Amino acid sequence: MVPCNGGICVQAILCICLGLAGSVTGDSTPKCDLLGSSEKESVMEKAVIQKLAPLRTINFTTTVSVGNDSYVYSFRVCNNVSQDLSSGLIQYNEKSKETVVVGRITDTHVFSGTDWIFLTYRGGDKYDSHCSKESRKAMVMISCDRNTLAGGFTLKSEENTKETDCLYLFEMDSKLACPPEESHLSVGSVLLIVLACLLALYLIGGFLYQRLIVGAKGMDQFPNYSFWQDLGTLAADGCDFMCRSKPRNAPAPYRGVGDEQLGEEPEERDDHLLPM
C-alpha cells in the first residue's frame, strides 16, 4: 500500500468522486433515442427533435373518463415523465392508482410534413390480454398553431381491438410545427420602399449640402429648388393644356347687350297731330 499525506489523499478522493458523479449525471440525462446507433441516426429526425427542444421542460396532461374509471395521461417531449427515466408518456388510473407506461423515449420515431409533426413512442408496457400482448405505442400529432408554443394536448382515440399494431393517438398544437413565414411584400412594394429610401436620402443629403456647404437660406436650402420650381410650372402648364376643352382666347358664350347692338331707331314724327 502506497503511503500518502492525509490532506492530499482526501483532496484526491474528493476530486475522483466529483468526476464520477459528473460523468454519471451527464450520461443519465433523458433524451430521445432514435432508431440505429448515434452515427447512423436519421439526420432529418435529428433536425425535427432539435426543433422540438423548447418543449422538453413542459409537462402535458389530459384526463379521460371511461365508465367509472378516470385516466390521466402525462406526456413530455424527449424527457422522462415519471421515475422511470425512459418513460415519455404514461397512463395513471385514478381509481386503482396504477401507472402504465404507454411509450418510451428510448424507442422514438418522428417525421414531419408542411405544418405537422408526428412523434411516436414505442416500447411501452405490454397489454394484459388483448392486442396479442404486444407493447403499447403512443403517437402524438403536433399541428401548426402560430398563436401558442404548445397546448391542446388531448387523447383522440385508443385503438386496442386489433390483433396487432394497437396504439394511442394524441394531438396537440404548437407553433414549432409551423413552416417559416414567407415575406408578403410584392415586387412593387419593394420598389416603393427603395424609392422612398432614395428620396429621403436625396432630400436629407441635399439639404445638408445646401445648408452647410453652400450656405443657402430659406427655400434655397431645398436641393435643386429652381429645377423643381420650373418642373412644377411646366407640369401645371401641361395639365392645363391637356385638360382644357377649349382654347383660352375663345369668345365667351354670353355677352352683354351694348348700345352698338341696338342700332338706330327710326325718328318718330308727330306732324299729323298738329291742328290744320
Q: Where are the domains of the chain?
A: 43-177, 187-238
- pLDDT tens digits for 97-150? 999 999 999 999 999 999 999 999 999 999 998 899 999 999 999 999 999 999
Distance CA 103, CA 57 (A): 18
Supply the DSSP symbol for 104: E
- pLDDT tens digits for 16-49? 544 444 443 444 568 898 877 777 788 999 999 9
* Residue 222 binned pLDDT confidence (cut-offs 50, 70, 90): confident
Q: Is 67 left (phi over 0), alpha (psi -120 to 50) or beta?
A: left
**Residue bearing the bigger pLDDT, 234 or 192:** 192
Q: What is the model's pLDDT at position 221?
A: 79
Distance CA 177, CA 145 (A): 8
Distance of alpha carbon 73 from the chain centroid:
30
Q: What is the model's pLDDT at position 276?
A: 56
Whether residue 77 has pLDDT greater than 80: yes
Q: What is the model's pLDDT at position 98?
A: 94
- pLDDT tens digits for 182-198? 767 778 888 899 999 99
In this prediction the pTM is 0.60
- CATH homologous superfamily of 43-177 equals Mannose-6-phosphate receptor binding domain (2.70.130.10)
